[in-house]
Amino acid sequence: MEKNVHLFVRHYPGVGVAAQVLTHPHLASFAPTLAAARLDLAAVVGRLLKRGELWDEETHWSDLRQRRMTLTVRALDHGRMLPVPLRLTVLTHGMKSRAKGKGATEREKLRVWVPRVGVEGTLHDAADLEPFVEELVRHELYLAPLERLHALAYVGEEQVETLSVPASFRDTPRARATEVSKQPRRFAPPPGLAEASRCLNEEARAGLLERAWERNAEVSRLAEAVTAKARASVLLVGPASVGKTALVHELVQRAEAATAGTPLHGVEFYSSSGGRIMAGMRYLGQWQERVQRMVEALRVRRAVLHLDSLSELLSLGGGDTGLDVARHLLPALEGGEISLVLEATPEDVARAERTHGAFLQALRHLAVAPLAPMAAHAALQQAAQRVGRARKVRFTPESLERASELTERFGDGPPPGGAVSLLRAASAGPNAAGDVDTASVTSAFCTRTGYPRELVDPAIRLDPDALLRRFRERVVGQDEATLLLRNLVVTLKTGLADPTRPLGAFLLLGPTGVGKTESALALAEYLFADVARLARFDMAEYAAPGSAARLVGEAGGQQGGLARRVREQPFGVVLLDEVEKADTGVHDLLLQVLGEGRLTDATGRTVSFRNTVVLLTSNLGADSAGRGLGFGARGVQEQATHYLGAAAAFFRPELLNRLDRVVPYRALTEDVIAALARRALEAALAREGLSRRGVKVTFGEDVVKHLARTGFDARYGARPLKRAVEQQVVAPLARWLAAQATRAPPQVVLRVGTEGRIALSGLE
């Protein structure tokens, strides 16, 4: 008697084969050949069968089907959200009709597996398969780190095999040894390194590592350092995204290709991070023991350990003892017992010099500068050829130029890294087939950033007048402010914005409720089609001394709100409300943000604001502006002068000088208030409850004037208007409709009654 089980098999080119029992993924094997993996699993399943397990479980179906699906999920990498395309194998079984009794039939549910991700489920309609799989996968991989998605990459053929195991199966070690001995053994990481790092040699053999083009000099110096008889540890110093990790990956691939007798031949490389070293360590002494085991393994095997963040390493493990991970590694470093390769930005190094000078002196510093334009272009061409071969597409020369232009204009890292990433995204798009042209690259960039196509595509004309009308429909009565918004967008369109600073930095002055926040919402909605891209911070919450630390994060602890938000979504609008109430330490932070377009958080990492619009608002001068009823007791020019003078008297000159513009907002006039009242009323009457009933509500100017008069408050501007509409129109209308015994009349008229209240009546 035999038991059939389905095996899900993955082939790793040049490495081996992984196989797992589909219904019991913990029953798995990795071997040099499929035959060896099958033999290993047959032994395991056979032992379970002899114990009476698995016999009664369904593990095999004759109608099991296999298909490929491609979808894009978002990964978290150093606080940034990155789109990652995944090519997945999906297995299904079921959906056949079966007799239920008395002539009735029912359809089985469709059972679905995505083995590589480790998820499964059932559904009733096969037409829903693709969205169902998409939901399963995205739920499982929500905010997963980028390295986990790299581990899920499609690297070789995947298939389903049937394994037939007799109940009398006996494990045959001699036969297994004979089979395995025919193939090269899989590299087995030592326990001291396997628990907190991954082997880069294996990833190189599987084709998972990137290349460093036009970097021969840097790679040679790095190779010389780690292979010298007096072993050296290296600190790669360069701006973010310059290609430091790619240098390490290139070195590993050269080591894998090195011939016997050369210095790199047989050198083992591992990669870890401060967070990975500390993962799961809860008790005093645990992480020290783990680090010591890693040091011993590195010393014995003369292996090289790559750590991707100096600042993270220095910030972990210290506590009250003063002995952090870096200081624990220092004796082995100074004695040349181990070889490390670390990465850091110049800001990281400057910060570390104050706290870990001895650790920095034990490292050989290797500067990694951005490539020169010609070298960057050559590197981009080589990288594009490699991506094209892997994705079976061809990039047109114009698409390479477009990718370089977009990433250079919008600051997506030094070339060619950002451009290569954009090309990968374009080649994985829904329309990517054959040639990838400039349109595909532009679409991929718009998807990544949220920018509208008309803003970044030079082939599409942007109408400045139409854009101005759009902003003035949204922000009523503030002509200078809407001109500012229009001019900002036009500057971005033409590529004339300063690439070393935020996209825009403006101080919006004026009383409450005149449109400052509405301007920020209108800008976020146009630039990114999503008001969620507006990150709003109430500066009154940062008035206490030392509050600035909450924006950048506490040392050795939690990430700050502002730094975290911009790192996770660098393309957006930041609104700092009532900035005059913030502590002076916050103003000091703003000097760096507004002047240099970046912010250094508590761990030393740099957050770029180069793709962010920074808006500051202030009510300075509102109490003494003589607004009367808010209808402009002073002239427009006089009010502007008043607010600008109040800002100049309060803020430090160095802060004001870093702003692109200081914009005073006008007090609301009667016409503006009436227009805002009309807009609030029309928005309320367009709600789903009325349209679903087919009820049309009409009103006259008397209703608008009544709402403008009763809903305006000189202290709060137009904000009470919405509350007035809710109380005087929506609530009575809801009560009246609910009380209708029969179908509500198709038309309702609003009017101002003799008692000065809004009344309503129905017309058939």
State residue 318's pLDDT score: 58
State residue 652's pLDDT score: 92
Q: Which of 3, 284, 403 is nearest to 164 (CA)?
A: 3
Asked if residue 527 and residue 655 are part of one domain, the reply reads: yes
Q: How far apart are the first and last CA of the chain?
A: 80
Virtual CA dihedral for 442, 414, 550, 502, nearest 10 degrees? -60
Pair type for strands 572-577 and 534-538:
parallel
Asked if residue 495 and residue 432 are part of one domain, the reply reads: no
Asked if residue 616 and residue 527 are part of one domain, the reply reads: yes
E strand residue ranges, 293-408: 304-307, 339-344, 364-367, 393-395
Mean pLDDT by 10 residues, the chain (764 residues): 86 80 83 83 83 82 88 75 85 67 58 88 85 85 75 82 75 45 48 82 85 92 90 91 92 92 91 81 75 87 90 69 74 89 90 89 94 91 89 92 88 78 84 84 90 91 94 91 94 87 93 90 92 92 90 60 88 95 93 89 79 94 58 64 90 93 88 87 85 84 88 74 87 82 71 80 62
Concatenate the DSSP letters of all residues of 689-700 into one string.
HHHHHT-EEEE-
- 459 is a domain residue: no
Give CA–CA dist 430/447, Å, rounded. 12
Q: Of 664, 689, 720, which residue sits at a domain end?
A: 664
- The three-state secondary structure class of 708 is helix
> Scanning the structure block, which residue is given the tokens 């990544």?
448
State residue 218's pLDDT score: 95
CATH classification at residue 729? 1.10.8.60
CB 654 within 8 A of CB 558: no
Asked if residue 610 and residue 744 are part of one domain, the reply reads: no
**Residues of the domain holding 425:** 373-449
Q: How far is CA 701 from CA 477, 560, 677, 686, 705, in A?
A: 19, 50, 11, 18, 6
Which residues 6+ apart lie within 8 Å of 433 measured at CB? 393
State residue 323's pLDDT score: 58
Give CA–CA dist 59/153, Å, rounded. 26
CB 444 within 8 A of CB 399: no
Largest interatomic CA distance in the chain: 103
Q: Of 618, 637, 664, which residue sits at a domain end?
A: 664
Give CA–CA dist 651/648, Å, rounded. 6
- 24 is a domain residue: yes
Q: Of 332, 367, 402, which residue sits at a domain end?
A: 367
State residue 170's pLDDT score: 47
State residue 32's pLDDT score: 80
* Count of Cβ atoms closer than 10 Å to residue 458 Cβ: 13
- pTM tops 0.85, yes or no: no
CATH classification at residue 433? 1.10.8
Asked if residue 738 and residue 622 are part of one domain, the reply reads: no
Q: Which amino acid is at 210?
A: E
* Count of Cβ atoms closer than 10 Å to residue 506 Cβ: 23
Which residues 6+ apart lie within 8 Å of 346 measured at CB? 237, 238, 239
Asked if residue 563 and residue 656 are part of one domain, the reply reads: yes
Q: Which of 557, 544, 618, 556 is nearest to 586 (CA)?
A: 544
- 456 is a domain residue: no
Asked if residue 253 and residue 329 are part of one domain, the reply reads: yes
- 457 is a domain residue: no
- 110 is a domain residue: yes
Q: Which amino acid is at 440?
A: S
Pair type for strands 110-114 and 80-94:
antiparallel
- 707 is a domain residue: yes
- 455 is a domain residue: no
- 249 is a domain residue: yes
Asked if residue 402 and residue 323 are part of one domain, the reply reads: no
Asked if residue 512 and residue 379 are part of one domain, the reply reads: no
CB 83 within 8 A of CB 425: yes
Give CA–CA dist 694/34, Å, rounded. 66
Domain count, the chain: 5
Asked if residue 614 and residue 488 are part of one domain, the reply reads: yes
